[in-house]
Amino acid sequence: MEILSNHLIHLIEYAQCKQIKTQQIERPKENSYIKMSDYFAYYRQLFLASSDPYFGLHFGSFLNLRVLDSVYEVSLAAINIDQVIHFWKDYAKNNFPSLLFTTSKTEDGYVLEFDLKTEYKEIKDQVLDTFFTFTVRELKLMIDIEQVDIALPYHQPDEFAQWYNRPILKKSKHSFIFKNKFQDIEINTNRKTEIEIVLPKFLRMLSNGKTEYQPFALSVRNMVLNMCNPEIPNLHRVASQFLMTERTLQRRLKNEGKTFRDITNEIKRELYFYLKKGKKIKMKDISYLLGYTDTSSLLHAVQKWKSIH
């Protein structure tokens, strides 16, 4: 059984961002196919090397930038969640056949359950966490997430509740419980415009290696860019990816002449001038995308940026 090679490429990129050694893993060509057993073996290898009990959750959160392109393609064609789920099923069947989706009807909605066929039992939940987290991010971009309950097969889901910013129900499988009929849940067309405009810039920024950055600062920058969806992640979330406290991450950056604020301000500055030049997004929406509470806070920052732009 084979899967799309991009899954392994993303895994390698995540490991490299976390500064996990990947020299023994040959990077495949994009959009080719690899053995599923190889993917699971490499996933297990990197999971164990990471010493991260929430590797799957954190990897799924890293994929946010990858989600944007996927969401955009799906939301262009989909009218409601029913169509989105059909797309997910078809995608899994053609590109990751071990991933299974099951839907069942409830009194006033539907339940979507995730499962995985693999002989690597010790990483089954981790891989499911990755795909499930990836899908949570997609749903948040496409619909009002309050219309969906999230359930996991864990007794202590606090880490997931924090990352999803949602309470987590207990169920035997990774599940979404839709409170309304699929046809009553509309796709958020406003986010499609944001994604269409912002995604190309994010991808160009990622491909720019920033040669003036030292290794750890570059890893942090790449982690921040990958985690954008399209909002920029905060210090706590990025530090969690490196299994560090915020203070430790800041100290590591200081040793390389940077701070977390330096890195995020540079990203915000680049994005602001790019978005403002296009004149397709309102200032209040730019403020939201860049993490400012209001337009005045953004304008205050812009005055500083103009002196160095």
Q: Average the pLDDT over 43-54 and give the result.
A: 96
* DSSP E strand boundaries for the chain: 2-4, 33-35, 99-105, 110-116, 148-152, 168-170, 174-178
Q: Average the pLDDT over 28-49 and give the result.
A: 95
Angle formed at CA 112 by CA 136 and CA 10, multiple of 5 degrees: 40
Task: With a cut of 90, say whether residue 149 has pLDDT above it.
Answer: yes
Q: Average the pLDDT over 248-271 and give the result.
A: 95
Count of Cβ atoms closer than 10 Å to residue 260 Cβ: 20
User: What pLDDT shows up at residue 309?
Assistant: 53
Query: Percentage helix, strand, coil, to 5, in the chain?
Result: 60, 10, 30
Band of pLDDT at residue 144, cut at 50, 70 and 90: confident
Q: Distance between CA 195 and CA 218 in Å, rounded?
A: 24
Q: Distance between CA 166 and CA 177 in Å, rounded?
A: 13
Kindly report each contact of residues 105-109 with a partner whose C-beta sits within 8 Å and lies 24 or more positions away, as own/partner. 106/177, 108/179, 108/180, 108/181, 109/177, 109/178, 109/179, 109/180, 109/181
DSSP state of 166: S
Q: Distance between CA 190 and CA 205 in Å, rounded?
A: 23
N residues, the chain = 309
- The lowest-confidence range among 16-25, 33-42, 79-88 is 79-88
User: What pLDDT shows up at residue 288?
Assistant: 82
Per-residue 3-state assignment (H helix, E strand, C coil) for 34-62: EEHHHHHHHHHHHHHHHCCCCHHHHHHHH
Percentage of residues in the chain with pLDDT exceeding 70?
A: 97
Instruction: Provide the residue ranges of all domains of the chain, joining segments of one domain with +.
Output: 52-184, 189-306
Joined tokens for residue 103? 């839907």
Q: Which residue has the higher pLDDT, 240 or 68?
A: 240
User: What pLDDT shows up at residue 67?
Assistant: 77
User: What pLDDT shows up at residue 183?
Assistant: 63
Joined tokens for residue 118? 């693999």
Q: Distance between CA 23 and CA 42 in Å, rounded?
A: 12
At 80-132, the pLDDT tens digits run 888 888 888 988 998 899 999 999 988 777 899 999 999 999 999 999 999 99
Q: Is residue 258 a contact partner of residue 217, using CB atoms and an 8 Å limit?
A: yes
User: What pLDDT shows up at residue 182?
Assistant: 63
Percentage of residues in the chain with pLDDT exceeding 90?
A: 56
CATH of 189-306, one of 1.10.10, 1.20.120, 1.20.950, 3.40.50: 1.10.10
- Strand 148-152, strand 168-170: pairing: parallel
Q: Which residue has the higher pLDDT, 142 or 28?
A: 28
Beta bridge partners of 92: none
Q: Average the pLDDT over 2-7 and give the result.
A: 93
DSSP state of 182: G
Specify the DSSP element, H or E, that contains 142: helix 121-142
Q: CA–CA distance from 304 to each of 188, 257, 281, 300 (Å)?
A: 34, 20, 21, 7
Give 241-259 as a DSSP string: HTT--HHHHHHHHHHTT--
- Confidence (pTM): 0.91
- The lowest-confidence range among 199-203, 234-238, 297-301 is 199-203
At 216-254, the pLDDT tens digits run 999 999 999 999 888 889 999 999 999 999 999 999 999
Q: Specify burial of residue 159 (Cβ count, 10 A radius: 0-12, 13-18, 19+).
A: middle
Report the SS3 class of residue 118.
coil
User: What pLDDT shows up at residue 243?
Assistant: 95
